[in-house]
Amino acid sequence: MQSSTWIMRERIVMRKQDSSLQFLQKSGEQKWSGVPASCCFRTSKRRSHRLVVPRVSCSSGNVPVLESGSPTLLDESKILKVSPQYVLTLLDAPTKVKPSHSRFHDPEKKAEEIEPYINGRCIYLVGMMGSGKTTVGKVLSDALGYSFCDCDTLIEQAVGVNTVAEIFNQYGEGFFRDNETEVLHKLSSMHRHVVSTGGGAVIRPINWRHMQKGISVWLDVPVEVLARRITAVGTNSRPLLHQESGDPFSRIMKRLYTLLEGRGEAYGNADAKVSLENIASKLGVEDVCNVTSTAISIELRSMV
């Protein structure tokens, strides 16, 4: 009973937060000062941040590929603090920190168990374009009773244009990155949001300082899967993929590899990693492309 009450209370709070943000946006006031203090709580807890160097292996074509599913990428102390079902094993914490028997699986205990770990901190999803930050983020925010927000959308709103591509075209990437940092800065004083960050947010150390106020999770998805997903929806909204020649799938693959090569280490700074390959193997699905967001959602919900 207690946990149900807790969840309901948080959902009511989230509605207040949403309407507050909408009001500020409509009224044209500063969009970000927004959440009423009564709806938020701060955690005084500061976590030390360490740079984690991911292991890199080579696959065909001299393309460095991050080895997925490696527990060495994870700071276990952080995982243990974050974990229960939030990162919800859900999405694939390493086996050794999963609860083997399941007080954590008891839905009546869930909220109580999670609360001290997350303590209202924002969850920052990081990962390459197409890794599912938006798709999974919405499911996760719903499960946690958090609000969801997408950094790219917030940047578009702040700049006053319709698409990220327009920002790149009109003002250049540097301007976009400055706005991205500003958005993350403002989010860092907020609570109870699941944040879908831009794929390149990890490259600036200052952004990590902002994201450190919350919990960061890296959605690690093989490049080929990313390329298939993006090829299916097109690159209109992804200006960094507008380069290279060749057929769409190949040029997207090539570009993604190049970007990942420069960012692999930065993604490894996240507090936790969720590997699509690991989920696939857990579900007994041979082709990772067949791990649907629904399957991830079911996995997630079964833990909540």
Ligand X SMILES: O=C(O)C1=C[C@@H](O)[C@@H](O)[C@H](O)C1
State which residue, 130 or 222, has the beta carbon closest to ligand ATP: 130
Residues engaged in binding ligand X (CB under 6 A):
129, 152, 164, 198-200, 238-240
Q: Does 131 bind ligand ATP (CB under 6 A)?
A: yes
State which residue, 111 or 217, has the beta carbon closest to ligand X: 217
Q: Does 129 bind ligand ATP (CB under 6 A)?
A: yes
* Residue 94 binding partner per list ligand X, ligand ATP, none, with a CB distance cut-off of 5 to 8 Å that depends on partner kind: none
For the chain, where are the E strands, in sequence order? 56-58, 64-66, 123-126, 147-150, 193-196, 215-220, 272-275
Instruction: State the sign of the Cα–Cα–Cα–Cα dihedral 223, 162, 247, 201.
Output: negative
- What single-letter DSSP state applies at residue 147? E
State which residue, 84 or 200, has the beta carbon closest to ligand X: 200
The stretch near ligand ATP (CB under 6 A) out of 65-73, 116-124, 179-187, 292-300 is: 292-300
State which residue, 69 or 239, has the beta carbon closest to ligand X: 239
CB of 292 to ligand ATP, least distance (A): 5
CB of 87 to ligand ATP, least distance (A): 16
CB of 134 to ligand ATP, least distance (A): 3
Give the span between the Cα atoms of 214 and 151, in whole angstroms: 15
- What single-letter DSSP state applies at residue 50? -
Give the span between the Cα atoms of 140 and 257, in whole angstroms: 28
Give the span between the Cα atoms of 265 and 227, in whole angstroms: 20
59: phi then psi, degrees, rounded to nearest 5: -110, -165
Give the span between the Cα atoms of 284 and 31, in whole angstroms: 45
What residues between 213 and 272 interact with ligand ATP by CB under 6 A?
229, 233, 238
Hey, how many other C-beta atoms are within 10 angstroms of the C-beta on 8?
12
State which residue, 66 or 111, has the beta carbon closest to ligand ATP: 66
Give the span between the Cα atoms of 279 and 291, in whole angstroms: 8
Give the span between the Cα atoms of 145 and 148, in whole angstroms: 9
Q: Does 127 bind ligand ATP (CB under 6 A)?
A: yes
State which residue, 111 or 227, has the beta carbon closest to ligand ATP: 227
Q: Does 153 bind ligand ATP (CB under 6 A)?
A: no
For ligand ATP, the binding residues (CB under 6 A) are 127, 129-135, 152, 196, 199, 229, 233, 238, 291-293, 296
